[in-house]
Amino acid sequence: MRRISVDKIKSGEKTAGEVYADGTTLLAGAGYKLSGKNLDRIDELGILWVYMDDPRTEGLEPTGTISDDVKRANKAKVQHAFEAIAAEYATDLPISAQQRLESIEEQKGISADIFNELESVAKSTLDNILLGSSRMFVPLPQEEREGYLAHHGLEVLAGCVMMARKLSLDSKEMAAIAIGGMLHNTGMLFLPDEIISGEGELSDDQIKYMQYHPVFGYEYLRKNPRVGILTAHMAYQHHENQDGSGYPRGLCGTNKIPRRKEPISTRPQVHRYAEICAIVDTFVALGSPRPYRQAMPTDRALDVIMRMAGSKLNLEMVKAFLSITPRYPVGSEVMIMNGEFSGYHAIVWEVSQQELNRPLIKILNDPDFSSVEESIFIDLSVQPFIQLQGLI
């Protein structure tokens, strides 16, 4: 089966997986022929992609680090919790960033009920990830236009957990980093609507307001003693840079992976959990469509991460991240850039941990977009000169 964006599906084509609205309401089962009316409805509901049947990809099962069913169910819960938080702090009148901060400081912070719910979501997502045998980080693309923050939080959780595993953090640390990854952007829930859902570029004043979100999140989370201090600090520090150019405090990093457990430094230094979160947050955000830009394919997003290493992102941690994140994940589509099949489109069939960036691919279309029915596989691990480019 292939993951196909809704605008590219033609009427009469068959689904290969179930299609849900809001993560819970079943719209169509697997093997269902979608009519034009169905497609209009799916688009209206804001669904961005569907698993479709394609005989050329029979047997292919693209999955993310979090399995589809757990992601769907947990995303609905996170979204529900986030909506409750936003509703609690909603105001009819415009409110300045300073006034917003004061209102968060005056109130009790995250309630026990909401935190318990979110903690159980983080735990079940973590369990799901640890049950999987893969050591790779593969985020699922955003499923629906709505619920961006819930999708983003869960995928950042997944990336943080895979990094924690790579860096051999223990189970207690892994649980802390999972919930911190999921809640790092909680402060975004306190921003005015026009800033989070604006279609154009933000004005200077809006950027200043937006840059309060780590402080909002930190103040909101730390008020509840059940929220670990490191979880709150992941919200506080995830936009700090190695060279001190980040916000809100301009902390610096060492560009190294700490060799031993350290308490929160008394020096003005970014904590390692926040450094992990910064890498994963940037990567997942680049791979998601936003109102003002398209999603980037994984290979280009990784190139951006590499360019940010050293100045913005912790260099040694970026190296660790690149060793767990394939440039061309299974199920993604690529263009062959040179050789006999230059200009052909292919789908990534298999990625091995040993040859993370040299996958096995299967050709789908020729350069004129005509379907190639013959089964042609190319193993890039033994074809070292063939170059690919990821497609969205």
Q: Can you give the binding site for Fe ion, defined by CB under 5 A?
A: 185
Q: What is the DSSP code string of 119-165?
A: HHHHHHHHHHHHHS------PPPP-BSS-HHHHHHHHHHHHHHHHHH
We find the least distance from the C-beta atom of residue 247 to Fe ion, in angstroms, to be 10
We find the least distance from the C-beta atom of residue 188 to Fe ion, in angstroms, to be 6
Distance of alpha carbon 226 from the chain centroid: 26
We find the least distance from the C-beta atom of residue 149 to Fe ion, in angstroms, to be 10
Distances (CA, A) of 285 to 281, 288, 297: 6, 5, 11
We find the least distance from the C-beta atom of residue 239 to Fe ion, in angstroms, to be 6
* Cβ nearer to Fe ion, comparing 101 with 376: 101
We find the least distance from the C-beta atom of residue 187 to Fe ion, in angstroms, to be 7
* Cβ nearer to Fe ion, comparing 219 with 299: 219
* Cβ nearer to Fe ion, comparing 32 with 89: 89
Q: What is the DSSP code string of 16-47?
A: SS-EEETTTEEEE-TTPBPPHHHHHHHHHTTB
Closest by Cα among 67, 38, 48, 49 to 1: 49
* Cβ nearer to Fe ion, comparing 189 with 317: 189
We find the least distance from the C-beta atom of residue 190 to Fe ion, in angstroms, to be 12
CB atoms within 10 A of CB 339: 12
The pair of structure tokens assigned to 150 is 């819930």
The torsion angles phi and psi of 372, rounded to 5 degrees, stand at -100, 110
We find the least distance from the C-beta atom of residue 185 to Fe ion, in angstroms, to be 5
Name the residue with the smallest CB distance to Fe ion: 185
Q: Is the dihedral of CA 189, 190, 192, 196 positive or negative?
A: negative
Three-class secondary structure of residue 205 per DSSP: helix
| CB-count burial class (<10 Å; 0-12, 13-18, 19+) for 372 | middle
The pair of structure tokens assigned to 318 is 């970026």
We find the least distance from the C-beta atom of residue 238 to Fe ion, in angstroms, to be 6
User: Do 257 and 316 contact (CB within 8 A), yes or no?
Assistant: yes
Question: How many secondary structure helices (H) and strands (E) does the chain include?
Answer: 13, 9
We find the least distance from the C-beta atom of residue 195 to Fe ion, in angstroms, to be 12
| CB-count burial class (<10 Å; 0-12, 13-18, 19+) for 151 | buried
- In angstroms, the CA 295 to CA 284 distance is 10
* Cβ nearer to Fe ion, comparing 213 with 358: 213
* Cβ nearer to Fe ion, comparing 193 with 374: 193
Distance of alpha carbon 88 from the chain centroid: 26
* Cβ nearer to Fe ion, comparing 201 with 373: 201
Three-class secondary structure of residue 228 per DSSP: coil
* Cβ nearer to Fe ion, comparing 206 with 381: 206
* Cβ nearer to Fe ion, comparing 74 with 185: 185
We find the least distance from the C-beta atom of residue 381 to Fe ion, in angstroms, to be 37
Q: What are 269's strand-pairing partners?
A: 252
Amino acid, res. 278: A
